[in-house]
Structure 1
Amino acid sequence: MPLEFAFELMMMLTSGCALLVSAWLFWRARRQRSMKALAGFGVMMALWCAGHVAVFYGWHTTGMALILANPLMPTFFLDFAIGFVNQGPARRSWLSRLARFRALLYVTAVLVSLGTLWLGGGSIIAFGPFEHYFVFRGSGWFNIGYTIFIGVLAHALLLWGFMRQQGNRRRSIAAMFAAGAWGLLLATSFIFPSLGLLWYPWPMLLLPSYVLLLVYGVVRYQMLEVNAWANRALLWILMTALLLGLMALFSAMAGQLGMQALAAVPQWQLWLYSVLLLMLALALYRPVSALVERLIYPGSRLDEQLLDTWLAQLRDTDSWHSLAREAEQLLARQMGQPVTVRLLTTAPRFEPGPGLELWCLHHKQDWQFRLKGFDDVTPGMRLTAEVFGSLLATRCGLLERSLQLAEAERKRVSEQHLVELGGLSAAMAHELRNPLNIISMATAGLEAERKAMIQDQLKRADRLIVDMLAYSGQLHIQPRAVPLLPLLHSLRPQFNWQDVQLELTLPENYQVFADPYRLQQVLTNLLDNALSFVRNQADGRIVLAAGTSAGELWLHNNGPAIPPDMQARLFRPFVSHRPGGSGLGLAIVQRIMEAHGGHIEYRNNAGWPVSFMLYFPEEPAS
């Protein structure tokens, strides 16, 4: 093979490889700017090699323009290095600022290329086997110097990233350095004729390997399919080398074995036939493998992307119901027919239905799956169900542990809250009951009517203490239909209204389904809380009104609005906006409402500065 033709063939092969790899990179990593820049590097290398081919065919102007555009190659690589390094722990603000000047780097590279082309930065000479070969002249040395400078800057940035990155990205940078050293060794021989050393550029014949090694070094730790492709490529290369060696050995021994006709066949023809046979086997491997898979496992189409999709969809579920529903949809979509999924924590006591069923059973400390009704399906569909069942069983175990941790944390927080509240309640009860006992003894000499009034209030105070103690435990209610107006009229004398106006806009027969004693406690706490804010206002008003729905009650007052930062924690214990308040009043009200199966809400959009909406269900809480 003529040496000039060998060089031309390698340039064309490098150009084709670079274009194919760049197209694949751009398609596979279209959302990663750094990979797009690497694809641009491959395109520029393809154009650079095409420039040499153009020179060989006498298209000197076009070829020189493409070769002198080589500053764009390291510029694309520098763009890639900036984006590749500026991630994770190595992310720096100065790299982000440098990234904003990408356009300036490209403009500079274009200006250097056009300037050296206009100033005649190269010429075409003939030496050795080459009739047309490009060499640098004059301003062309500035072109190659700028190219080397940008390349060194890009690799220095990668070196900086290597010292700060970890894991796969650090390994990728190390692989890039190895590929860069190989590329520098190959490209050095291209410069020799420009220096007057008319040597044949033997290393340039291996240039196609540089593109593949560089890209593989970058993405091998990022994309799994690249490693699979490299594994297949290495396998076929080794098989080709082994086959060529066996053919050479067989050709040498054919004469001794009595096969004179075979021994007379030129060795290169045997090699050519062997390579053609191997290429044919490579071309038929995929369709034959797919045909065999369809014959053995008809209907089975399992691949890595499908498994990743299944894992992602199952991982997004956060309850047993949603996990079973999602599993049914995924498996039915893959198999083309309905499949029932059952998640069972105990052994089932029922027989499977007529359709296809996948059971996930909790057995001792593990989850296992069983297939029901899959005896008559194809082997491919059964394989699909088995793979999916294994993934589902694993997800069941993870979800079980996640729910157990969440429940344990909820119980821990609840128990800690009750312990703290119980301790505070006990301390307050002790401090309050001592003065109440003294007041009770002091009423011994009073007249009967006044003594009875004081004793009633002492009993009420004692009930409030009991309720405060009960807040840390469980509330027991006995709901029934309670007329609201008579209860409110009985509560009115207990408060010091001063000039506050109480308006009851309730129907005469309005009633709620509640525990009378707990309902009295709710209304007492709310009215007392409202009075503490509106009692000193000249136009203080408190309004109790029926809502639009049954069991709905509104309490409005025109006191000062509650600050926004306190609204979100208004019903938490020990939070008080009231001077001298304990911070338990609204918290107790909320607990009583929830014990009834209802709720209380603070509203600031009802036309009043402060509004509370209470809802009592029509049926008793279960």
Structure 2
Amino acid sequence: MPLELAFELMMMLTSGCALLVSAWLFWRARSRRSMKALAGFGVMMALWCAGHVAVFYGLDTLGMALILANPLMPTFFLDFAIGFVNQGPGQRPWLSRLARYRGLLYGAAVLVSIITLWQGGGGIIAFGPFEHYFVFQGSGWFNIGYTIFIGVLAHALLLWGFVHHKGNRRRSIAAMFAAGAWGLLLATSFIFPSLGLHWYPWPMLLLPSYVLLLVYGVVRYQMLEINAWANRALLWILMTGLLLGLMALFSAMAGRLGMQALAAVPQWQLWLYSLLLLMLALALYRPVSALVERLVYPGSRLDEQLLETWLAQLRDASGWNALAQTAERLLARQMGQAVTIRLLTQTPFYEPGPGLELWCLHHAQGWQFRLKGFDDVTPGMRLTAEVFGSLLATRCGLLERSLQLAEAERKRVSEQHLVELGGLSAAMAHELRNPLNIISMATAGLDAERKNMIQDQLKRADRLIADLLTYSGQLQIQARAVPLEPLLKSLQPQFDWQRVQFDYVLPANYTLWADAYRLQQVLTNLIDNALAFVRNQPQGHIRLEAGDAPGVLWLHNNGPAIEADMQGRLFRPFVTRRQGGSGLGLAIVQRIMEAHGGHIRHRNDAGWPVTFEFSFPEEPAS
């Protein structure tokens, strides 16, 4: 191939690549001013290369005008650098002011271009294989000097941004510097004939790579889709190089293998045929791939938009039930039949039902999915379920971590609230007990009946203060094995049973792993609360018995059943049905049980009007 033709083709290729990349940038970054400036840089690069082509065809005036307009190229790049660096939280006022005066920079570039063109800043010479080649003359050196100055200024601004930015923006700037060094190396040979060095500009044959590398280095950290495009482009470039090498080797070996007719074919024709076949394969790859996928996986219609829809709707589910319902609806809509979704923290012991089921199981290594009942479905349906199961398992892991963080934050706020409440309660107790003591001392001279009435009310107030301190204070649990029967016998004399029957049904030597003092508080509060309701009942009865699991106790009484609207609020502070009660008894019991790692709940299915079930943790193995 003639060297002049090779240079001309490379200039055309660079111009075409620059225009295509600029159009893509302008379309993809409509709202980003800096990317529009980079697109302008690409357009000017295309016009600069077109100027060389115009010179080759004898259009000297047009060609020189386009080449001498090269100050606009670094001006567009400087505009891009200003906008790219001055983004994010680190914006600088001086850069914002510079951006407002960008019009002056463009005006100066246009003025330099016009003056150098008017004063004959370039000429056309012939050397080597070139009949027409542009060289700088006279004022043209000012043109190239101004161009270099603006380019250096733009890269100095990028260097400043590299120092002050982090993350992807800093990586983009580093990629721009690497591409700029490559572009400088390639463009240096363009100016040699202007210096009297009539060397063929070999490096400029690689100029198309500069535009692509520069734009790719900028946007690869900003737009993820460009990386997928670059991956495909690099693959096809490598395939092209490999194919051309194989064809060259085959052409050289054809004569020795007895294929004289093939050996007589010019090598460039073999390369051309190979490139045409490769381009045809590239054009047919997507439709053939889609056809093969439909044949292998009939009924499967998975694309990026569908996956994004699935991810968005699964992300909106804020709880396990909502996530399972959303997943069932999405998968059933895609497959055209009902699918049961089960989100399980451990492997179940039951067998799957007759329909289609997708299980998401929690293992030590994370969430994984399993398909049940999919043996007879088409491969396309199974592929759809597998892709959906993978997305659902990922979402289960994210939701689990989100709920754990929310629970940790709730506990932190609750503990902080209790600390504040504890301090407030201690101060109130101190302030209240002082006047109560004074009132108690003032009753010394009163008659016995009035004195007893006042003392009873003072004891009630003191008990309320003690309950408030217990509820709001920090609970320190020192658990050990506590025999329950001796503790019950020691508590019984403390209560005014009147005619209420109390008994317990416990295994021999029954023990609980608990704090003895706090266990006594739990039993005292629960029995005292039950007595308040059954003491006036005919044949009042309270029974404590062991539950159906170790550490579980049931406390029954035959008092009036608890209303349905009260059952959900029983353990809240200051909620009570008891006349004269503080409303803290059950709330204190719940706090003590939670401090042990246990729980308490109300039950109405144990055969008694009222039953409280409270459980303590099992005694750890020695």
TM-score, normalising length: structure 1: 0.68
Aligned letter for 1:217? G
Q: Is the 8 A contact 2:121 2:137 kept in 1?
A: yes
- Report whether the alignment pairs 1:75 with 2:91: no
Matches within 5 A, 1:275-424: 275-302=275-302, 307=307, 310-332=310-332, 334-335=334-335, 339-345=339-345, 356-363=356-363, 366-415=366-415, 417-418=417-418, 421-422=421-422
CA displacement at 1:183 relative to structure 2: 1.4
Partner Cα distance (2:82, 2:330) in 1:
41
How many angstroms does 1:458 deviate by? 3.9
Q: Say how many residue pairs are matched.
A: 496
Are the structure 2 counterparts of residues 519 and 14 from structure 1 closer, same or farther at C-alpha, using a change threshold of 3 Å? farther
The answer to whether the Cα contact below 8 Å between 1:90 and 1:161 also exists between their aligned partners in 2 is no
Corresponding residue of 1:98: 98
Deviates more, 1:382-391 or 1:354-363: 354-363
- The percent identity for this pair of structures is 86
1:54 CA displacement: 2.6
1:314 to 1:122, Cα distance in 2 relative to 1, 3 A: same
- Does residue 146 in structure 1 map to residue 146 in structure 2? yes
Distance 1:308 1:55, change over 3 A: same
CA distance, structure 1, for counterparts of residue 364 and residue 156 of structure 2? 57
In 2, Cα distance between equivalents of 1:382 and 1:167: 40
From the superposition, tell whether residues 249 and 65 of structure 1 become closer, same or farther in structure 2 (CA, over 3 Å).
closer
Name the CA shift for 1:32/1:322 in 2 (closer, same or farther; >3 Å).
Answer: farther
Shift of 1:30: 3.3
Looking at structure 2, the residues matched to 63 and 347 of structure 1 have their Cα atoms a distance apart, in angstroms, of 76
Q: Report the equivalent of 1:12.
A: 12
**Structure 2 residue 154 is the aligned partner of structure 1 residue 163:** no
1:369/1:467 Cα in 2 relative to 1: closer, same or farther (>3 Å)? same
Structure 2 residue aligned with 1:266 = 266
AA aligned opposite 2:16: G
Describe the shift of the 1:406–1:47 C-alpha distance in structure 2 as closer, same or farther (beyond 3 A). Answer: same
Deviations 1:574-616 (A, max 9, x none): xxxxxxxxxxxxxx9xx99xxxxxxxxxxxxxxxxxxxxxxxx
Tell me which residue corresponds to 1:182.
182
Cα deviation for residue 386 of structure 1 reads 1.0
Question: For residue 33 of structure 2, what is the aligned residue in structure 1?
Answer: 33
What are the ranges of 5 or more consecutive residues in structure 1 without an aligned counterpart?
481-511, 523-587, 593-621
Higher mean C-alpha deviation, range 458-467 or range 221-230: 458-467
Q: Go from structure 1 to structure 2 and tell me whether the alpha carbon gap of 1:92 and 1:275 turns closer, same or farther (over 3 Å shift).
A: same
The separation in 2 between residues aligned to 1:105 and 1:371, in whole angstroms, is 64
Query: Aligned partners of 1:198, 1:132: CA distance in 2, in Å?
Result: 13
Alpha-carbon distance change, 25 to 351 in structure 1, aligned in 2, over 3 angstroms = same
Aligned partners of 2:24 and 2:453: how far apart in 1? 91
Q: What secondary structure sits across from 1:377 in the alignment?
A: coil
In 1, distance between residues paired with 2:129 and 2:295?
Answer: 56
Offset of residue 17 of structure 1: 0.7
Structure 2 match to 1:191? 191
In the alignment, the residues of structure 2 paired with residue 327 and residue 33 of structure 1 have an alpha-carbon distance, to the nearest angstrom, of: 41
- Looking at structure 2, the residues matched to 519 and 81 of structure 1 have their Cα atoms a distance apart, in angstroms, of 76
Q: Which residue of 1 aligns with 2:212?
A: 212
| 8 Å Cα contact 2:576-2:582 kept in structure 1 | no
**Residue in structure 2 matched with residue 440 of structure 1 by the alignment:** 440
1:447-486 superposed matches below 5 A: 458=458, 461-462=461-462, 465=465, 468-469=468-469, 472=472
SS of residue matched to 2:443? helix
Tell whether the 8 Å contact from 1:345 to 1:362 is kept in structure 2 after alignment: yes
* 1:444-479 residue CA offsets vs partner (Å, 9 max, x unmatched): 323578757855764664465356446539999999
Residue equivalent to 2:122? 122
Q: Deviations over 1:11-45 (max 9, x none)?
A: 11111011111122223333433322222211111
Deviation at 1:214, TM superposition (A): 1.6
Name the amino acid aligned to 2:71: P
The question of whether the paired residues in 2 share the 8 Å contact of 1:367 and 1:396 is answered with yes
Q: Are the aligned partners of 2:125 and 2:131 in contact in 1 as well (CA < 8 Å)?
A: yes
Do the aligned residues in 2 keep the contact of 1:328 with 1:339 (CA within 8 Å)?
yes
Give the structure 2 partner of residue 237 of structure 1.
Answer: 237
Q: CA 1:459–1:231 in structure 2 vs 1: closer, same or farther (change >3 Å)?
A: closer
1:354-403 Cα shifts (integer Å, max 9, x gaps):
76443323456743323344344331232122122122123213322332
TM-fit CA distance, 1:303 = 5.2
Q: Secondary structure at the match of 2:368?
A: strand
Cα 1:125–1:468 change in 2 (3 A) is same
Q: Deviations over 1:498-518 (max 9, x none)?
A: xxxxxxxxxxxxxx9996777
Kindly provide the CA deviation profile for residues 58-93 of structure 1, in whole angstroms up to 9, marking residues without a partner as x. 434433332222122111211222233334586544
Residues 397 and 231 (structure 1 numbering): CA distance in 2 closer, same or farther, change over 3 Å? closer
What is the identity, as a one-letter code, of the residue corresponding to 2:210? Answer: Y
Counterpart residue type for residue 411 of structure 1: K
Are the counterparts in 1 of residues 367 and 393 from structure 2 also a CA contact under 8 Å? yes
Return the offset for 1:227.
Answer: 3.4
1:46 Cα deviation after fit: 0.8
Given that 1:19 and 1:43 are in contact with CA atoms closer than 8 Å, whether structure 2 keeps it comes out as yes
3-state SS of 2:444 partner: helix
Instruction: Report if the CA contact (8 A) 1:41-1:73 is conserved.
Output: yes
Shift of 1:125: 4.2
Residue range with higher mean Cα deviation, 243-252 or 432-441: 432-441
How far off its partner does 1:247 sit? 3.0
